[in-house]
Amino acid sequence: MKKLLFVLLGSTFIGSASAATLVVEGKYQNKNLFVQNALGNNGVGFCAQEIKVNGKITTDETNSSAFEIDLASLQLKYGDKVTVEIVHKDDCTPKVLNMDDLKPKPTFEVLAIGVSPAGQLKWSTKNESGSLPFIVEQFKWNKWIPVGEVDGVGSPDNHEYTFQVTTHSGDNKFRVKQKGLNGLSKNSPEAVLKTTNTKPTFTVAKNASAIDFSNETAYELFDAYGIVVKKGFGKNIKLDNLGKGNYYLNFDNTTAEFKK
């Protein structure tokens, strides 16, 4: 029998001449799933016919216009992988109303976080409920700036992570964060390090063709409208392609202004 396979909105459909399967995958978040059911196109019988969770047929009653998939009764642990298969008639498709409740959320707890003089940021966590990236952020220029990412393991056990950061002169502050659905995010405590790095200085060439730093530094260059026109790490910035006007320069942990 010829079968069809396609993916739509994070759910997989496997179909044959008489039946199809809607597959929903994610991590158990201590919530059940709710399904909106429909009659078949011929008006006889409801669309959904059988439910499987992690390969096992459940006792959920599908013979109604709406029903609940009782994940709580299956002895799942928070964060466990869940694969739900809804076998249904091929001329209609049930709708899972709360699929997002199987998507991971930022639930991690930080056991310890710190940064070494060599710039190695280390943190340990527990109670992760799904694999989400940890976004590493550094506070400078009066804002938190993303400087890298590390994939989270995503299980409730204890885990350790490391990331090499670049420090500036004076006090350095770092943190990690995870983002979930609808803008939900969670931040770690801050890791603080005071360095003895030499604070760089800068000069603008007489012909305004470049900015030269006394030593390498991260930088951002803004025009008078607040638009970033240059960004990077190094000892100089070429200005040849920039027009005359006022500019604002972020470097090391300092903000300055100059005119071209």
Condensed to tens digits (0 to 9), the pLDDT of residues 105-154 reads 899 999 999 999 999 999 999 999 888 999 999 999 999 999 999 999 98
Q: Is 18 helix (H, G, I), strand (E, B) or coil?
A: coil
pLDDT > 70 in the chain, percent: 93
How many structural domains does the chain have? 3
Q: Is 60 exceeded by the pLDDT of residue 16?
A: no
Q: Is 80 exceeded by the pLDDT of residue 44?
A: no
For 137, the domain range is 109-195
Q: For position 173, which CATH number holds?
A: 2.60.40.2150
Shared domain check, 96 and 29:
yes
**What is d(CA 163, CA 142) in angstroms, rounded to the nearest whole number?**
22
Cα dihedral sign, 39-43-45-49: negative
**What is d(CA 99, CA 24) in angstroms, rounded to the nearest whole number?**
7
Q: Higher model confidence: residue 8 or residue 192?
A: 192
Shared domain check, 138 and 91:
no
Shared domain check, 124 and 34:
no
Q: Which pLDDT band, with edges at 50, 70 and 90, does 2 fall under?
A: very low
pLDDT, position 184? 83
Classify residue 118 by its DSSP letter.
T
Classify residue 103 by burial, with Cβ atoms within 10 Å: 0-12, 13-18, 19+. middle
In sequence order, the 6+-apart residues with CB closer than 8 A to the CB of 255 are: 141, 142, 248, 249
Q: Is 80 exceeded by the pLDDT of residue 246?
A: yes
Q: For position 44, which CATH number holds?
A: 2.60.120
Q: Which pLDDT band, with edges at 50, 70 and 90, does 156 fall under?
A: confident
Tokens of 165: 């950061």
Classify residue 197 by burial, with Cβ atoms within 10 Å: 0-12, 13-18, 19+. middle
Specify whether the CB–CB gap between 33 and 42 falls below 8 A.
no
Shared domain check, 242 and 180:
no
Looking at the DSSP bridge assignments, the partners of residue 67 are: 35
Shared domain check, 78 and 27:
yes
Shared domain check, 17 and 34:
yes
At 49-105, the pLDDT tens digits run 999 999 999 999 999 999 999 999 999 988 788 999 999 998 889 999 999 889 888
pLDDT, position 41? 73
Please give the distance of CA 98 from its chain centroid, rounded to a whole number.
20
Average pLDDT across the chain, whole number:
89
Residues 177-203: what's their mean pLDDT? Answer: 92
In sequence order, the 6+-apart residues with CB closer than 8 A to the CB of 19 are: 49, 87, 88, 89, 90
pLDDT, position 207? 86
Shared domain check, 127 and 90:
no
Looking at the DSSP bridge assignments, the partners of residue 185 are: 179
**Where does a domain end: 58, 77, 102?**
102
Tokens 């709406």 locate to 66
Shared domain check, 29 and 71:
yes
Shared domain check, 184 and 123:
yes
Shared domain check, 185 and 245:
no
**Where does a domain end: 65, 82, 102?**
102
At 192-231, the pLDDT tens digits run 999 999 999 999 988 889 999 999 999 999 999 999 999 9
**Where does a domain end: 102, 133, 165?**
102
